[in-house]
Amino acid sequence: MRSLRTQVGIVGAGPAGLLLAHLLERQGIAAVVLEAKSRSYVEERIRAGVLEQGTIDLLNEAGVGARMMSEGLPHEGIELLFDGTRHRIDLAELTGGRRIMVYGQHEVVKDLIAARLSAEAPLYFEVDAVQVADIDTAEPKIYCRHAGEDMVWTCDFIAGCDGFHGICRTALPDIAAHTFERVYPFAWLGILAKAAPASEELIYASHPHGFALFSMRSPQITRLYLQCSPDDELANWSDERIWSELEVRLASDDGWHPNKGEIIQKGITPMRSFVCEKMQHGRLYLAGDAAHIVPPTGAKGMNLAVSDIRILARSLVQHYLHHDDTGLAHYAENCLKRVWRAEHFSWWMTSMLHRFTDHSPFQQRIQEAELRYFATSRAGATTIAENYVGLPWSD
Ligand code: APR
Ligand code: PHB
């Protein structure tokens, strides 16, 4: 077994793990990133693609925003579509100029991997059998295997950035008592199509057939989603069925409809809200999807991961550079306020825009009245806008 030493051992090379490694590297703090999948897998994994203003600023300040600024699509509004009419939420005007950037999560991942490799800092892909141990001691360890060789990394701290299905959360004792969860009775079928986006802005549609979302990735690629059943299978969704449902759910009275094109990717994503409030035990800290999940309706997943990492990186810098452990002691508490704000917003947007087959006619009318109010009143639209662009950091 090869024995290695680092300051911060990071499990997972998603946006959370890679951004933490980058922010630490800039302060001269040593870290290793250990990722189970291959580089090409993480660089091509299609996920969400909306960056909040605070995320855009942080990536720019950290020196990894250049490609995002040149290739990303800045947006100043979104649209809500129901009863055949589109209602624009003017994000910038309602929030004093804050906006969002449409830039795929895997593009952020590529930029962070490029930064790590150009710094010649340790980053291992295709790492097997990852286990964490001794988290209650001053020398927590990560055991793993890479290229047929067993390794043990002795660290000062471990960051569990290994997503919802990772192993780090399960290393924390007694998490059941600190876990909050809601599983939704629907999923999203998502496609990427080789078609120029027919609208400059995202369109969130509520329709009797179910929710639909029009989004995009580039001037040539449209991203579209349809609410489907959680136990649905891709085999049930031919390209023809997908396009005809999109036509129906996204139809607006002015004749707008999405451009069609070859479907180059299809996937079904279950919808879940989940928070593990115990985000730290001993010297193991959880960040991003390892600690919490939101349904994608509010586009908050990656932004929340960035918010945790901003707090964790700052706390580790305080520890190493200023011998101050206040941030580390209050890590979970400092993250959770923003986590719960985003949990509420994502749950609320999901509840307001999807069809629930178990709703009574009364509940259905209440849902419609709620959507009409938030889409058409300035106060309502401001609530959507300030949450959508992300509230300013509170510190
Ligand atoms: N060992 C090493 N790596 C692991 C392990 C393991 N045992 N288990 C999982 N991983 C890796 C995954 O392969 C993945 O690359 O951890 C990484 C976790 O990355 P993400 O799932 O992208 O999570 P995070 O970095 O927290 O980013 C959150 O991802 O799912 C989206 O909507 C979510 O946008 C949000 C973002
Ligand atoms: C996306 O483009 O993938 C996307 C956009 C907005 C969302 C969710 C996903 O709310």
- Condensed to tens digits (0 to 9), the pLDDT of residues 206-255 reads 999 999 999 999 999 999 999 999 999 999 999 999 999 999 999 999 99
Residue 104 beta carbon below 6 angstroms from any ligand 2 atom: no
The pLDDT > 90 percentage for the chain reads 98
pLDDT digits (tens, 9 = 90+) for 73-100: 999 999 999 999 999 999 999 999 999 9
Catalytic residue among 296, 319, 331, 354: 296
pLDDT in tens, 108-158: 999 999 999 999 999 999 999 999 999 999 999 999 999 999 999 999 999
List 204, 225, 285, 331, catalytic entry? 204
Please tell me if the CB atom of residue 223 comes closer than 6 angstroms to any atom of ligand 2.
yes
Q: Judge whether 249 and 205 are in contact, CB under 8 Å.
A: yes
Whether residue 296 lies in the annotated active site = yes
Q: Give the pLDDT score at 164.
A: 97
How much is the pLDDT for 48? 86
Q: What phi and psi, each to the nearest 5 degrees, are found at residue 214? A: -105, 125
Using one digit for the tens of pLDDT, what is the confidence trace for 162-189? Answer: 999 999 999 999 999 999 999 999 999 9
What tens digit of pLDDT does each residue of 1-39 get?
Answer: 999 999 999 999 999 999 999 999 999 999 999 999 999
Q: What is the mean pLDDT of residues 57-64?
A: 98
User: Quick one: residue 97, left, alpha or beta (phi over 0 = left, psi -120 to 50 = alpha)?
Assistant: left
Which atom of ligand 1 approaches the CA of 167 most closely?
Answer: 7
| Residue 51, pLDDT score | 97
Q: Please name which of 345, 349, 355 lies closest in space to residue 390, comparing C-alpha atoms.
A: 345
- Locus of tokens 């960035």: 306
Indicate whether residue 299 lines ligand 2 (CB < 6 A).
Answer: yes
Choice among 132-141, 194-203, 386-395 with the minimum mean pLDDT: 386-395
Mean pLDDT for 303-307 is 98
d(CA 165, CA 180): 16
Distance 178 CA to ligand 2 centre (A): 29
Ligand 2 atom closest to the Cα of residue 349 is 10
Ligand 2 in reach of 160 Cβ (< 6 A): no
Compute the average pLDDT of residues 327-339: 97
**What does the mean pLDDT of the chain come to?**
97
Mean pLDDT of the region 56-74: 97
**Ordered domains of the chain (ranges, CATH):** 2-75+99-180+273-349 (3.50.50.60), 184-271+357-389 (3.30.9.10)
**Could you identify the atom of ligand 1 that is nearest to the CA of residue 16?**
25
Predicted structure pTM score? 0.97
With beta carbons less than 8 A apart as the criterion, state whether 127 and 34 touch.
Answer: yes
- Per-residue pLDDT for 57 more than 90? yes
What would the mean pLDDT of 334-362 be, rounded to a whole number?
Answer: 97
Ligand nearest to the CA of 289: 1
DSSP state of 126: S
Active site residue 75: yes
Q: Bridge-partner residues for 331, per DSSP?
A: none
Q: Which two tokens stand for residue 88?
A: 């624009």
Is 204 in the active site?
yes
Considering every ligand atom shown, identify the ligand nearest to the alpha carbon of residue 274 and give its number: 1
Q: Which of 207, 300, 319, 354 is catalytic?
A: 300
Question: pLDDT > 70: what percent of the chain?
Answer: 100
What are the pocket residues of ligand 1 if the criterion is a CB atom closer than 6 Å to any ligand atom? 11-17, 34-37, 42, 47-48, 105, 127, 130, 161-163, 166-167, 288-290, 301-302, 305
User: Residue 368 burial by CB count (10 A; 0-12/13-18/19+): exposed, middle or buried?
Assistant: middle
Q: Would you state the pLDDT for residue 394?
A: 82
**Amino acid at site 94:** L
